[in-house]
Amino acid sequence: MSGKLLGRRRFLGPGVYSTLGFLLILAALLLFPSLIRDSVRESVAYCLQVLVPSLFPFMALACYGVHSSASQVLGRPFARLFRKIFRLPGCCAVTILMSFLGGYPAGARGVSLLLEKGLITREQAGRMALFCMGPGVAFVITFLGAGLLGSMRLGVLLFVSVTLSGLLLGVIVSIWAPPPKEERSSPPPPSRSPLMGAVYDASKSMLVMCAYIVLFSGFRAILQGSGLQGVLIRWLTRTGIFSPFESAAVLSFLLEVTGGVGEAMRVQAAPVFYAFGLAFGGLCVHIQALSFFQEFPGRLWLFFLCRFLHGMMASGCFLGVCLLLPSGAVPAAAVLGPEGAASFSGSFLGGASLLAMCGAFLLMAEGGAAAKPTSAGNV
């Protein structure tokens, strides 16, 4: 009997589930080709017109701050404050700042670089990964607020809500953390070529991020074509918390933030849903952030719990700010759609050119690294 049970467990191992998932996705690609094609085309256009032009400069700057000595020098005035509030060394100041100004991947990549260079411990890196994640100024205020919702003031309120709740989350997760050790009086020597290292890291991160967004857009199309999306929406509606339209927006935000923004616009969801979705980030962003670490330095269940808490806290902050402001100060979201946002995004060819340059730089950098001599005999 025990031999039969052991054989059944081996049969139902990870390989069987991977094979089953492979076959199901293959069948979906064959059953819904046009739906998946249209969804992927829209996500590619979004990456080239909005994401790459707005996020790449912030990503490169965040990486440069760690590769050079800028993070240590600029962090000195904040060292005492960060030691008391976040239980982190002052060199983390630039990374925390860029995580909320530059966009989701900028913070995660900055944390992973600090850990790789030995500037922070694994405990500190795991704690920073719990709250150093924000949608960025360009996406929230310019593209979403002024472009899609027709109100830059509303974009500012959303950005302030997400940022304040993220910083508050950082304080909460650091209450019982041990204080950091005293920093070295002189910063460690910077990388041999910090600019090249920053551009390399930013290029690689940008390409990976766009690939994940395109992949999740296809997954959303599969959910829609198979009817699973409708099942999940009905399940969320039965909880009594959301209406069917609100359930559709929440489900999209849980999967991928850009798709959530589009769905929330379509159903004309209240701005508080945007606050939750922007802070939560979506499963697509979570996987991107985790991919920057060879081994995640914290607990995964705590990471996902903090993502949910950040979303709830951002919603609460947004409602609180609206209550504090005088009547009429909070504008209604006049949804303009992609046409209204055209003037706030880059051109398709411009984004494609920048992404192509990222790929070319990666190939040249990796080729140069491979051509380096490994020993004196190779010279």
Residue-wise pLDDT for 13-37, tens only, equals 667 878 888 888 888 888 888 988 9
User: Burial level of 40, CB count in 10 A (0-12/13-18/19+)?
Assistant: middle
Q: What is the pLDDT of residue 200?
A: 82
In degrees to the nearest 10, what's the CA dihedral of 86, 104, 134, 327? 180
Report the SS3 class of residue 180. coil
Amino acid at 358: C
> Could you say which residues of the chain have pLDDT below 50?
5-6, 335, 337-344, 371-379
Q: What is the pLDDT of residue 354?
A: 55
Contacts of 51 (CB under 8 A, 6+ apart): 209, 210, 213, 258, 351
Q: HSE-up of 251 (CA within 13 Å, CB side)?
A: 22
Q: What is the pLDDT of residue 379?
A: 31
Q: What is the pLDDT of residue 371?
A: 47
Calpha distance 311→316 (Å, rounded): 9
Q: What is the pLDDT of residue 203?
A: 84
Note the pTM of the prediction, 2 decimals.
0.78
Could you identify the residue written with the tokens 């994401």? 51
